Amino acid sequence: MPITLDLRQAVIHKVHGQSEGDLRSMIEGSIDGPEAALPGLGVMFEITWKHLDAAKQDKVIELLHENLKSMTPGSLTTS
């Protein structure tokens, strides 16, 4: 019988038991990398977000807001 994992479980399975250095390498290797890595980063963000208290969540939102203000969105294209 085949094993079926959803995306969250697949990401957790892949990173479970990795050292802090391995996690850092995975994250840094995904930043500005192929878009296929974005769902994994999203799962990692979700795990982190769920374990932050409200004050830390507010700080993350503040950081995101400030960084987004300095960015110029690229044009959307269709394929």
Supply the pTM of this predicted model.
0.79
DSSP for 15-45, written as a single string? HTT--HHHHHHHHHHHTTS-GGGHHHHHHHH
The position carrying tokens 């990795």 is 18
pLDDT value of position 73: 87
Q: What are phi and psi of 34, to 5 degrees?
A: -65, 145
User: Does the pLDDT of residue 75 top 90, yes or no?
Assistant: no
The Cα-based distances of 19 to 5, 10, 23, 26, 57 in angstroms read: 23, 18, 6, 11, 24
User: Does the pLDDT of residue 21 top 90, yes or no?
Assistant: yes
